């Protein structure tokens, strides 16, 4: 058959332009694609040879060979796979709609065969990546069993290609890329090695290349001959490891192998805290080995932090930063996911946002959370170590992952008024030890245990012997916005809104006392309200204070002092708002100010005392006061007056 020149179909030419100019973000992807196609071809003949051994033609030494010729400027990729006939070449490379791999899989499905070989991608698409780096591509192939002739296909990617019969002694495919002048780096040994290591290290067939090294001349006994010079020696080296640890049964993998693989993919020299190795079957099939590290990386909270799960499709590397595989609050997880049926679009580099990805994510998240729950239950020391490193990150999931909210709630730990420093309580444990009269789960947010432990908001709860959760991570302010209740117990911030701590009988008794106090202190409270009207929303008597004179309280849904600090630290605009000044009716200052007010309503000391109360409330919650110099002067004057 004479050489025939044909035009690419319109959609093929459009795809070529897309591939060459914009589809792939880095050019080195071309080699991954061609190696994957070669792996497919070997998969096919291995499968077909089960029913027809003659197809092997006496050669079952599977390999994919690379050859770089710097003088000619060519890179050659050769395989001993199934090969193609003339018609298959025309169909698979001349069109997009027809694909050798796609049709092969479809045929196997029609035959309902159980042990289909795992095939990668679509030949017709991956092959076009060659034109990103080559200005001419020559493909020579012969199908297994058709020894009479092979086929040669050639194109410069300009819209046409030639095809002709040719002689080829061995089955399989050879692709020669005539590299563009600015792509000659892909002929360097180190570059080829790095690409194979990165993308195709776990392909199950050896990827080999002839490597030439200069060696000193040796005698018959293998000793170096002094002054004998050097001689070039060429040996065939395998570039990939082929050791996809995740494909092996767990029973065959040692702890040392798991640790070695973790260090390889994470670049962390410490042992992982926990290893999760499992296979998912059914609607979505994939294998995974993921690790929970023993410590957080330095860039965990940086915006450009890369997630640590590597995505493979049938052992072929896709990306080390697949954001769709794990939610952001599990970004510390390291490992590998290898999918058998993940659909990819025309570029293996760009994943489709489809149901398969979501299924993998759902399964993976469920497995990680169940592992953490088991660790918390059976090995608390390990869980506390994990929580100390990654607790604040895990808490982010409460706000963003509604589907797993209940599981995440049970993983949370907090220090509390009933725990020693450094000891924790879970929400479940808190509820289990709530006294009979307690209705809500009480918590306080702040910057440290010391600041919340000594807070005036704690006084009434301490008197009632009610446990209060100390939420001292900045993220806790967002966590409690998402957890409104746990086991039908409402979560209540003790520095917001009203506190209802009393029984009905106690409430009636306190209401009666409060009414009497309002009558007694009503005048001075109105005066304080008027004096501080620009800074407080309201002045009222407190039911939460037993020792301190005053405190500032936010509305039920308002911003407390801690939230304002966090927003300012994040350079966020803090909305203007006033809080409520609560006064302790049993504190002596109320009698003192009332007596002063009744004696002389124009006494300037009343305004000073009102300012001091407000500043005192700010200081006890850890907020800055407006005029520190004036505050210290007033305190000094009081000290002098008290000493006379």
* Backbone φ, ψ for residue 66 (5° rounding): -110, 145
CB atoms within 10 A of CB 105: 15
* 65 beta partners: 78, 208
Single out the residue of 31, 27, 25 nearest to residue 239, CA to CA. Answer: 31
Instruction: Give the bridge partners for 85, in sequence order.
Output: none
| Local structure of 309: helix, strand or coil | strand
Q: Which residues, in sequence order, are CB contacts of 561 under 8 Å at separation 6+?
A: 495, 552, 554, 621, 622, 623
DSSP-based three-state secondary structure for 307:
coil
Determine the 3-state secondary structure of 173 from DSSP: strand
Q: Rg for the chain (alpha carbons), in Å? A: 37
Give kind and range of the element (H or E) at residue 78: strand 74-79
d(CA 413, CA 401): 18
Rounded Cα distance, 428 and 573, in Å: 36
CA atoms of 39 and 131, how far apart (whole Å): 20
**Count of C-beta atoms within a 10 Å radius of residue 523:** 14
Q: Name the binding residues for ATP.
A: 33, 37, 79, 84, 92, 98-100, 122-127, 173, 348
Contact present, 477 and 563 (Cβ < 8 Å):
yes
Tokens 């590397």 identify what position? Answer: 317
Binding residues: 33, 37, 79, 84, 92, 98-100, 122-127, 173, 348
**Beta strands at 334-339 and 308-313: parallel, antiparallel or unpaired:** parallel
Q: What angle do CA 591, 597, 603 make, to 5 degrees?
A: 125
23: which DSSP letter?
A: I
Long-range contacts of 399-402 (CB under 8 A, 24+ apart): 399/478, 399/479, 399/481, 399/482, 400/327, 400/328, 400/329, 401/327, 401/329, 401/365
- Compute CA distances 25 → 3, 129, 374, whole Å: 35, 12, 42
Distances in whole angstroms, Cα of residue 121 to Cα of each of 41, 312, 338, 407, 580 = 11, 12, 14, 37, 65
């Amino acid at each position: 058959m004479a050489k025939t020149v044909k035009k690419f179909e319109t959609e093929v030419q459009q795809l070529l332009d897309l591939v060459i100019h914009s589809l792939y973000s880095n050019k080195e992807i071309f080699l991954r694609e061609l190696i994957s196609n070669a792996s497919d071809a070997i998969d096919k003949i291995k499968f077909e040879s089960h029913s027809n051994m003659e197809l092997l033609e006496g050669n079952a030494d599977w390999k994919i060979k690379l050859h770089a010729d710097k003088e000619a400027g060519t890179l050659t990729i050769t395989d001993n796979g199934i090969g193609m006939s003339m018609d298959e070449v025309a169909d698979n490379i001349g069109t997009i709609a027809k694909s050798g791999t796609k049709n092969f899989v479809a045929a196997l499905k029609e035959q309902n065969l159980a042990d289909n070989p795992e095939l990668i991608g679509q030949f017709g698409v991956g092959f076009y990546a060659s034109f990103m780096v080559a200005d001419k591509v020559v493909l020579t192939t012969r199908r297994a069993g058709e020894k009479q002739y092979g086929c040669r296909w050639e194109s410069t990617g300009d819209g046409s290609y030639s095809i002709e019969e040719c002689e080829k002694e061995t089955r399989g495919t050879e692709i020669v890329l005539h590299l563009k002048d600015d792509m000659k780096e892909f002929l360097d040994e180190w570059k080829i090695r790095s690409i194979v290591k990165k993308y195709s290290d776990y392909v199950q067939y050896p990827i080999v290349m002839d490597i030439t090294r200069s060696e000193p001349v040796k005698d018959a006994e293998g000793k170096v001959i002094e002054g004998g010079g050097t001689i070039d020696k060429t040996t065939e080296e395998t570039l990939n490891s082929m050791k996809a640890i995740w494909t092996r049964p767990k029973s065959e993998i040692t702890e040392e192998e798991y640790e070695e693989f973790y260090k390889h993919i994470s670049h962390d020299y410490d042992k992982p805290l926990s290893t999760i190795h499992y296979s998912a079957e059914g609607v979505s099939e994939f294998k995974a080995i993921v690790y929970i590290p023993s410590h957080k990386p330095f860039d965990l909270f940086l915006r450009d932090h890369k997630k640590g799960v590597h995505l493979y499709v049938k052992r072929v590397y896709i990306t080390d930063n697949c954001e769709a595989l794990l939610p952001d609050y599990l970004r510390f997880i390291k490992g590998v996911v290898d999918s058998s049926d993940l659909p990819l679009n025309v570029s293996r580099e760009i994943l489709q946002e489809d149901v398969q990805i979501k299924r993998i994510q759902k399964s993976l998240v469920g497995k990680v959370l169940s592992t953490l729950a088991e660790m918390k239950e059976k090995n608390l020391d390990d869980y506390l170590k994990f929580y100390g490193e990654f607790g604040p990150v895990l808490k982010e999931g409460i706000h963003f992952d509604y589907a797993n909210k209940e599981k995440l709630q049970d993983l949370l730990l907090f220090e509390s008024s009933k725990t020693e420093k450094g000891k924790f309580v879970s929400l479940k444990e808190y509820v289990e030890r709530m006294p009979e009269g307690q209705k809500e789960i009480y918590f306080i947010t702040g910057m440290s245990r010391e600041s919340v432990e000594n807070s005036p908001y704690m006084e009434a709860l301490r008197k009632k012997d009610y446990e209060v959760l100390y939420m001292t991570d900045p993220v806790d302010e967002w966590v409690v916005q998402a957890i409104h209740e746990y086991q039908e117990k409402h979560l209540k911030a003790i520095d917001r809104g009203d506190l209802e701590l009393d029984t009905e009988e106690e409430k009636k008794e306190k209401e009666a006392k409060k009414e009497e106090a309002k009558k007694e202190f009503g005048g001075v409270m109105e005066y304080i309200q008027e004096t501080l009207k620009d800074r407080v929303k309201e002045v009222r008597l407190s039911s939460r204070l037993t020792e301190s004179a005053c405190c500032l309280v936010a509305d039920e849904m308002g911003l407390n002092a801690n939230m304002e600090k966090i927003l300012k630290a994040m350079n966020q605009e803090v909305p203007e708002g006033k809080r409520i000044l609560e006064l302790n009716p049993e504190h002596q200052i109320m009698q003192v100010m009332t007596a002063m007010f009744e004696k002389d309503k124009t006494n300037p000391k009343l305004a000073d005392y009102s300012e001091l109360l407000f500043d005192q409330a700010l200081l006890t919650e850890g907020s800055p006061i407006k005029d520190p110099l004036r505050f210290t002067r007033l305190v000094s004057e009081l000290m002098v007056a008290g000493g006379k």
